[in-house]
Amino acid sequence: LLAGAMSLRESMTDAAGRFFFEGLPASTYTVRTAPANFFPPPIGGTSAPEVTASITVVGGQKVSNLAFSLVPGGVIRGLIRDDGGRPADKISVWALRIAYRDGRKTLENVKSVQSDDRGEFRLVSLPPGEYYVRASGTVDGNPIFAYYPGGSNVESAALVRVRAGDEIFADMPIPPAKLFRISGTVVNAIPELATEAQGFVLMPRDRKLDDGSATILPNLAVGKGSGYFEVRALPGVYDLIAAARA
């Protein structure tokens, strides 16, 4: 319970779901609830992370008709397999949904987990809505990147629709990936500040949907000197940004 920026009070529901706030001075309050794995009913197919209501209390008034309707969250689960059909462990898996920032269409992370030693993952407590499922990591030392149901970019991905209380299966094979070698020389315009690049950030360029998939890659040529660098990357169009130790 919030009254402007001045106070915060909490109340726990009882076994019947009832809650009480007593001794409140006259004011306008915002009542907010965000219980674990429960969300407001979806609007336009998507649920907000919490539900709020504004009430005005006058002196001595009793407000007893405030009620919140909530629905349970859902689950996306599945199995990650490499291009040889073997379970892939320690692969990061995200549930992403569309959002807009500064007028640009982007993907925001709602939940992320890692696959276990059997290649299985569970994304739990998801608000009802539509999600892209993305996996990335390394297999046998090589980077992998995939969207459900198995494509290498968001343009080929399928949305997974999660309704209240659903448990959706989304097994994901990792497509075979051909890595390309990028090499060159880093030149610092201020020689006394020159240092060897330890790695590079690859920023996908000119995507209609910003999926936040910037990748940090190690410089495989560290120690060779003269500013020479070499990285291995998946196919794509990128901006390449060098990262050096201070």
Torsions phi, psi of 245, nearest 5? -70, 145
Calpha distance 216→203 (Å, rounded) = 9
Only one residue has tokens 């608000």, namely 127
The pLDDT tens digits for 82-97 are: 888 899 999 999 999 9
> Which amino acid does the sequence have at 159?
L
What confidence tens digit (pLDDT) does each residue in 26-80 have? 888 888 887 888 888 888 777 777 888 888 888 777 888 788 888 899 999 999 9
Tokens of 17: 């779901």
Peptide bond between residue 149 and the one before it cis (omega within 30 degrees of 0): yes
pLDDT at 215: 67
Cα gap 70→19, rounded to integer Å:
15
Q: How far apart are CA 122 and CA 1, in angstroms?
A: 33
Q: Please state the pTM of the whole predicted model.
A: 0.73
Q: Model confidence over 174-187: pLDDT tens digits? A: 876 677 888 888 87
Query: In Å, how far are 161, 191, 194, 197, 222 from 246, measured between CA atoms?
Result: 45, 14, 10, 10, 15
Decide which of 6 and 12 is more confident: 12
Radius of gyration of the chain (CA): 24
Largest Cα separation within the chain, whole Å, is: 79
Whole-number Å distance between alpha carbons of 140 and 233: 15
Six-digit token pair at 130? 């539509």
Q: What is the pLDDT of residues 123-165, one digit of tens each?
A: 999 999 999 999 988 787 777 888 899 887 788 889 999 999 9
